[in-house]
Amino acid sequence: MATYIPEEYEVVRNYDLCTNCGACEKQCANCVHKFNKAANKMVADSSKCVNCHRCVCICPVHALKIVKSQDVYRNNCNWSAQTMNEVYRQADTGGVLLSSMGNPNEFPNYFDKILVNASQVTNPPIDPLREPMETTVYLGKKDAEIKRDEKGRLIDTLSPQLKLNMPIMFSAMSYGSISYNAHESLARAAEELGIFYNTGEGGLHKDFYKYGKNTIVQVASGRFGVHPEYLEAAAAIEIKMGQGAKPGIGGHLPGMKISDDVSATRMIPKGVDAISPAPHHDIYSIEDLRQLIYSIKEATQYKKPIIVKIAAVHNVAAIASGVARSGADVIAIDGFRGGTGAAPTRIRDNVGIPMELALARVDERLRQEGIRDSVSVVAAGSVRSSADVVKAVALGADACYIGTAALLALGCHLCRSCHTGKCNWGIATQNPELVKRLNPEVGYKRLVNLLTAWNHEIQEMMGGMGINSIEALKGNRLMLRGVGLNETELRVLGIKHAGEDI
Amino acid sequence: MVIEIDEKTDFRTLNEKIRASGDKAVLLNGCIGQRYIATGVSEKDITVHGTPGNALGAYLNGGNVYVYGNAQDATGDTMNGGTIVVHGNAGDATGYAMRGGKIYVSGNTGYRAGIHMKAYMDLKPVIVIGGRAGSFLGEYQAGGIIVVLGRHNDGQPIINNFCGTGMHGGKMYLRCDSLPKSIPTQIRAEKVCGKDVKELKDIVCDYCRYFDADAAELLDASFFVLTPNTDNPYKRMYTNN
């Protein structure tokens, strides 16, 4: 007895407009639409619909819309339809529930409860259109000892730095989880914007070595595609210890997704599962982490910054303190709303903490311990707008990673079905027919548009505060006020409530 | 080039010297725990007298490393090519995630030897352990070959617990009369026969060239070959949600 689960969404077609052109049928990898010859009209099977909006966007006469289905179970505030359906799915299959993208549930979003300051009368605002406004940031250790030679000239003892034209980078998304065209779009946009994209743990495709100076490569527990040229090609190397969407969980790319090209990039045989377990099996302590960091530094002759990415979890401040002492140049903190190509639902929806709280605590802890300058901090896990970037910087971040926002720019409509591999937008798929729907020429320009706009907005918000350098905003929590937050939340964030003055 | 080392020698200075040396052959005397020797190196012949530290030959991409002494942890981590020969024991995580090249250890290894070992196209890594291996041998093995010869004589078992947990590719050969009881059910264990005989013989002969052992004598024994059990694979069935 397999339970019939009523469709969540219903495809509604306006037959006055539909011309039976069949575009929706061609575009839907989930086979929702088909032409019914007998009735001489297009019909839809809503039960297959994932609500990705591809058909809605592509329909030349706008005859389609997708609405929330009216077929709901009896109202129950405790047992939502989603919760009931999950029970049915597991009773049917005995399987572990699998989801994609970030945690969609109703948890407080602290960025939405923080407001930014602006100057009035004294310390006047600055107009970014007329005056220089610095958003360039350098990621890396800033704790160099000042040394001079016998003639008094400065000796450069600064650790390697990453120069970003704006405090934003594209976060780790592997080739395998996203498509070749998505990677090309990210790489070209990073190059044009003077920022970085991140290969994730799936290796670096041979075609993309030319974007090396704007590339961060990842080393994860499975070490896929990691070899000396890979490390050499990149501007920086990120050790993935954790991911916000699935703290404590590793990755498992099923063999069926290991195409020829993905196999060559990961350097594993075609069709064999790519398993990267949660732990690195040589890291059980900060000292062990230090060993991996230094083995990479040795392999790259200390020329590249090493980033350590951790998930935001309960004791994140103590963990970050250890990471800062392990020799890492940059710590990336990934909050619980961060996206993923596939994660067990229970982990995604129940494990980890909000990035805003984690970031505030990490910055505070590193300052208290006097080691804030020995490491840069990158915030990740649902940075949705330039305002989120400004707030994250004021909470102590040197820069932010964006993943979901970048995918939205490429066409993603957040249907959260990446794990099915049938992305109609050509992003989270390896099906060549689907991949070619994403034109990298268009995709990279859209990413450039997005971040150019964000950078201008960041400059405007900085100007409003009378700040002309992003460095002066970093950790400047007096620029922030909370609304509707309780004492504990304000204390953890290290900010005052709106209406309180200094 | 010969480099004399003592306990005051910093690993970074030492490794810079090795990299800067124009000589193909580099001899290190008196090594005492210096880490990352031969890390990311290719096309050098490095001979180490003493005890090299952790991560010897990490990301090694060719050339040879000979150790006259014991090696510590993470020898050949993520190695891509070349050969490491240890005249002694090797510590934990020997050959972690190695994709190519060969590691020969005359004695024993610690925990997690050959974990995450993989193979790709013409890259087919090999680890030969002369004595016994600690727990978690070949965990998550996805490719390549691990051989354990059991030449130790301390009465300990040839392998320990959790051998091959999560293994989904590659092979392990164990030289022992009876199969250790601790092999998980997801592993198929059979007496060596057919094509495997030749493959094993070649690997054992290579081992004997480095360590002055008698190949015929070593091969005249019972060997088991361990592979992932395709009849009983790891199933982690997911349900789309």
pLDDT at B232: 64
3-state secondary structure of B239: strand
Q: What are phi and psi of B118, to 5 degrees?
A: -135, 175
pLDDT at B121: 87
Q: Look at residue B235 and tell me if it is in a domain.
A: no
> CA-CA distance, A333 to A171, in Å (whole number)?
11
Task: Report the candidate in A107, A499, A170 with the shortest Cα–Cα distance to residue A312.
Answer: A107
In B, minimum Cα distance to A5 occurs at B241
pLDDT at A113: 97
Residues of B within 8 A of A344 (CB-CB) are: 238
Residue B186 Cα, gap to closest chain A Cα (Å) = 15
Q: Give the dihedral of Cα atoms B167, B173, B176, B177; nearest 10 deg.
A: 90
CB-based contact B240 A345, cutoff 8 Å: no
pLDDT at position B235 over 70: no
C-beta of residue B52 within 8 angstroms of C-beta of residue B32: no
Q: Look at residue B241 and tell me if it is in a domain.
A: no
Residues 243-302 of A with CB under 8 A from B: 252, 263, 267-269, 272-273, 275, 277, 281-282, 291, 294-295, 298-302
Residue-wise pLDDT for B174-207, tens only, equals 999 999 888 888 899 999 998 999 999 999 999 9
3-state secondary structure of B45: strand
Structure token digits, residue A494: 């290290």
Q: Look at residue B234 and tell me if it is in a domain.
A: no
In B, minimum Cα distance to A268 occurs at B120
CB-based contact A267 B42, cutoff 8 Å: no
CB-based contact A94 B99, cutoff 8 Å: no
Q: Look at residue B239 and tell me if it is in a domain.
A: no
CB-based contact A268 B77, cutoff 8 Å: no
C-beta of residue B13 within 8 angstroms of C-beta of residue B33: no
Q: Look at residue B167 and tell me if it is in a domain.
A: yes
**Closest residue to A89, CB basis, from B11, B55, B239:** B239
Q: Determine contact: A222 vs chain B, CB below 8 A.
A: yes
pLDDT at B236: 62
Residue-wise pLDDT for B16-57, tens only, equals 999 999 899 999 999 999 999 999 999 999 999 999 999 999
Residue-wise pLDDT for B71-116, tens only, equals 999 999 999 999 999 999 999 999 999 999 999 999 999 999 999 9
Interface test with A, best of B14, B15, B59, B140 (most A CBs within 10 A): B59
CB-based contact A96 B123, cutoff 8 Å: no
CATH no. for residue B160?
2.160.20.60
pLDDT at A3: 80
Residues of B within 8 A of A302 (CB-CB) are: 12
Task: Determine the residue type at A432.
Answer: P
State the helix-helix crossing angle for A386-394 and A440-464, rounded to 10 degrees: 50
Q: What is the ipTM of this complex?
A: 0.93
Residues in chain A: 502
Walk along chain A (502 residues) in steps of 10 and give the mean pLDDT of each run.
Answer: 84 96 96 96 94 96 94 89 94 91 95 96 88 96 91 92 98 94 98 97 94 96 91 96 92 76 85 78 92 96 97 97 97 96 93 97 97 97 97 98 98 94 94 96 98 97 95 96 97 96 82
> CA-CA distance, A331 to A323, in Å (whole number)?
7
Residue B177 Cα, gap to closest chain A Cα (Å) = 31
In A, minimum Cα distance to B80 occurs at A227
Q: Which residue, chain included where needed, has tokens 């020997």?
A: B94
Q: Look at residue B166 and tell me if it is in a domain.
A: yes
**Closest residue to A226, CB basis, from B78, B136, B238:** B78
Q: Determine contact: A207 vs chain B, CB below 8 A.
A: no
Q: Look at residue B237 and tell me if it is in a domain.
A: no
In B, minimum Cα distance to A87 occurs at B241
CB-based contact B58 A298, cutoff 8 Å: yes
Structure token digits, residue B37: 């020797």
Q: What are phi and psi of B12, to 5 degrees?
A: -65, -45
DSSP secondary structure code for residue B161 in this structure:
T
In B, minimum Cα distance to A223 occurs at B97
Residues of A within 8 A of B240 (CB-CB) are: 89, 98, 417, 419-420
Task: Give me the long-range contacts of B152-160 (CB less than 8 A, separation at least 24).
Answer: B152/B107, B152/B108, B156/B132, B157/B132, B158/B132, B158/B133, B159/B132, B159/B133, B159/B135, B160/B133, B160/B134, B160/B135, B160/B136
Residue-wise pLDDT for B208-226, tens only, equals 999 989 999 999 999 999 9
Structure token digits, residue A86: 């999950």
Number of domains, chain B: 1
**Closest residue to B236, CB basis, from A96, A269, A298:** A96
Residues in chain B: 241
Structure token digits, residue A226: 């990691």
Task: Report the candidate in A306, A299, A408, A319 with the shortest Cα–Cα distance to residue A362.
Answer: A319
CB-based contact A291 B55, cutoff 8 Å: yes
Residue A229 Cα, gap to closest chain B Cα (Å) = 9
Q: Give the dihedral of Cα atoms B166, B167, B173, B174; nearest 10 deg.
A: 10
First to last CA, chain A: 65
CB-based contact A419 B240, cutoff 8 Å: yes
CB-based contact B58 A252, cutoff 8 Å: no
Which domain covers residue B7, as residue numbers? 2-228
Domain annotation for chain A: domains and CATH numbers: 9-95 (3.30.70.20), 137-471 (3.20.20.70)
Residues of A within 8 A of B118 (CB-CB) are: 267-268
Residues of B within 8 A of A234 (CB-CB) are: none
